[in-house]
Structure 1
């Protein structure tokens, strides 16, 4: 960040708030301190009126979608690991997996693909709202 963040403060959190901060920072793929600073920055900008009131809803929806997309990334990784495990087992056993295993994988993959499509459609709606406000 240009100029850095030279204004340092120390604060304490409850166990619940600390856990929530760590989880939210992980979802955002940020360090805990950087995430806390970003949240504070956004809060202060909003209070100072730097974020127009009609954008607050759009920003809230984008933040919610970002968390949901992080969950989807985890689901896609999990499905990928399962596919790799099935492939490794198939190669070792030199036999095709049982039909029921393949059907379950197909259903799991379809469910993840459907969730991704739904999230993308919802993000398109949010983007349309944002374009209306520009």
Structure 2
């Protein structure tokens, strides 16, 4: 799956359970319930896993259920909203080149995508809910 070059600066990932999937076609922020924070090695492992998800054909629905917000030590870098139904992932944010923004198809039934979904679903509620959210 495509990741922006700025991903190398990621130090923290917020995992988000999307509560209103219909608004994520063009919304500026990733809205939902902050579930957990992945830091340091856990964040790097997650990005490696996301980067290993193969490209695939996207279908039509785009009703994402999960997303991530990737942060550097000081700034929000990018967001990804994942729809495992239509095999689409919307990538956007301040660190994403204009030509990379948008919805990209991914192989949602591939082993890396299934492992990602399992990690997202297995996340436990975080203690610092909304601490890093930009409004």
Looking at CA atoms only, which structure, 1 or 2, has the larger radius of gyration? 1
More strand by share: 2
TM-score (norm 1): 0.25
TM-score (norm 2): 0.25
More helix by share: 1
